[in-house]
Every structure is written in structure tokens, then in C-alpha cells.
Amino acid sequence: MNEIRFAVLGTGGIGRRTLEVSTYRDGLTPVAACDRHGVAIDHDGLDVDELLAATEGNIASDGGVTRVKETGEQKGVAASTQADPTATPIDDVIAESDAIDAVLIALPNFEHEFIPEVADRFVEADYSGVLVDVLKRSRVIGMLDERADAFAECGVTFVCGAGATPGLLTGAAALAAQSFVEVEAVDIWWGVGLKSGYEDNRGTVREDIAHLPDYDLETVREMGDDEIEAVIDDHDGVLEFHDMEHADDVLLERAGICEAADVTVGGILDVTSDEKPTTTTVEVTGTTFDGERGTNTVELDDDTSMAANVNGPALGYLKSAVRRNRVGEYGVFGPAELLPRF
């Protein structure tokens, strides 16, 4: 496979770590990155170390990659773009998309329509290539499926829910299900330790809090940082979730594995420690062709971080999608429908 030139929309925790992980993967060249107020573009390849150093301490804030432009430290950025932040960071990336093979969308999705509408903007610009997201919400998958024909007409291969859950664990469930002729239940239970806390993982923590009883996306979207931190403090930094609306359910259903109603997702988030509060597991229960009922279990090592389990698969699915795109396979794909490439 030829070198893949890719962009990252969003330089919060997921976006930054994706750029970092990409430096350990062959065949990937990050050429663009943006946040709400700024953009860095270099078609010869961004200097990831320089970019991350310049944005350190500004994750999901008004700083972000804008600081790279302001200091002029990012090689290859035209002098005319160094002085001021941009008001149209996504549009600036889209304007350069003819030279971009794939785009990882690492943007907050508190508005259910947001990521689908970002995809619309690429289609309207006649982009032909790969779009990958790490969204979590089940209801968004349907919005993307509604756009499948538009993606196919434009030449877009879209992989939805390509992180850990949905993503890596969805794919693991699909593999574990192969032992059975009928799948009865898929139970996903995750553990994440984030000692860096809310400050460095705002989008992820907010989305998770929206799954707590008495909260939803609309409520959490309106909450200030102090209110979010108060919720975390009320739980002593350890949040436990059950029956989450994670897209694993509809993604496994669309892949023909089981009914969406047979999938449950839950887990524990600890923002006081980097150690996982519980082991991440996928249990698939079903009946074999010879009438035996059993449960296949996939377990992740406790020492693998959330970043490793989210960003590694995201880049693997991005690579796989580029391969599909280059042979003319367009439309919407889920993580249970293709294997990520290393």
C-alpha cells in the first residue's frame, strides 16, 4: 500500500494521541490537523513532536493548533497563515482534501447531527477518500446510513465507530461470535484509568457522564466545567456505567451478528488512577451447530491504556478503509464488517 496522507479533525485527547500513535505505524503521514480555532497543514508531513509540544496544555481549549501558526514553528505553513487563527478550520482542511487520502474525525459529538453534517461538508466539496470516526452513540449510525448513497456517489468510504467501544471490542465480538450458529447475548464491560482526569479528556468524560442516571447529552452539553468536575467529585473520581447507549449494538446488528437488543455495554471510569479499575472484557454467549451453549470471552490486558485501545484500532481501521477505497468500495462500514490493518 502506498503512503497514506491523513488529517485529524480535533486535537483534544483522541486527536493528539492519534497523531502520536501514527509515528509508530508504517505507511502513515499526518498532513493536517485542526481544532476549533486553528489549523496546521504540511503536505510533506507535519512534525508531530513539534505540533504536540506547541499545543501542550491547550487540549480542547482556545489554544490548540492555533499556537503552532502563531509562533510559526510548524514547517510548511505559509507565512500568510501564521499570524492569525482561522475561523473556518474544518473548511481549511476540506480545501486541501484533494491531497488527503483519509480524515479521522475526532470531534465532540454532543449534537447527534454534528459528525454526519461534517461528512456532508466533505461530500459537498466532492471529496473522494476515507472518513473515519470514533463516535459512540447508537442513534448516529442511522444518520450515516442515510448518507450511504451520497458517499458511494462521491467515492467516500466511511468507517463509523472505529475506536475501542465501539470499534476494537465490536470487532472482537464479531470474531468471538463465529463459533455459534445463534448468538444469545453480547456483554461488553470496560475499565479505563485516566489519572490525567477531566482536564485532558474533556470530550470523553463528558460523553460518559451523559450515560449516568438523571443525565443525558442535552443536559451535559449545557453544564460548565465546574459542574462536570462536581459530578466527578460526587463519585470520588470513579464513575460506573450500565446499559450505555453505545453503537456496538446497532453495529453488531447491521453485521448480522445478533439483535441490537441483545447487546449490553457498561464499564468503570477512574480519573484518580492510571490503573484500570476493572478488566475490559467481551463475552459472547451462543449456541453451536451441535447444540452446545457456551460463552467465548475476549479479555484485554490491564496494562493497555485507553489511548492504545482507541487510537491504535482507529488508525488500523483507517488503513483498511483506504485499501477498500482504492479498489472502489464506497459507502458506510462498521468495525464488525472489516478487519483493521496494522
CA dist 316 and 322 (Å) reads 10
Distance (Å) of CA 302 to CA 148, 170, 193, 208:
37, 18, 10, 20
Residue of 3, 20, 70, 207 marked catalytic: 207
Residue of 37, 211, 276, 319 marked catalytic: 211
Annotated catalytic residue 136: yes
Give 73-77's long-range contacts (Cβ < 8 A, gap of 24+).
74/40, 74/42, 74/46, 74/47, 74/50, 75/42, 75/44, 75/47, 75/50, 76/41, 76/42, 76/43, 76/44, 76/46, 77/40, 77/41, 77/42
Q: Which of 327, 307, 304, 305 is nearest to 315 (CA)?
A: 307
In contact, 58 and 12? CB cutoff 8 Å: no
Residue of 136, 246, 276, 319 marked catalytic: 136
Residue with cell 476515507: 130
Helices (H), 76-113: 89-95
Q: Which of 216, 265, 200 is nearest to 112 (CA)?
A: 216
Would you call 65 exposed, middle or buried from its count of C-beta atoms within 10 A (0-12, 13-18, 19+)?
buried
Helix or strand or coil: residue 282? strand
Q: How far is CA 209 from the centre of its chain?
A: 17
Helices (H), the chain: 13-22, 48-55, 66-71, 89-95, 114-124, 138-145, 148-154, 168-176, 202-209, 217-222, 225-234, 248-254, 306-326
Pairing verdict, β 28-34 and 39-41: antiparallel
* Residues annotated as part of the active site: 136, 207, 211
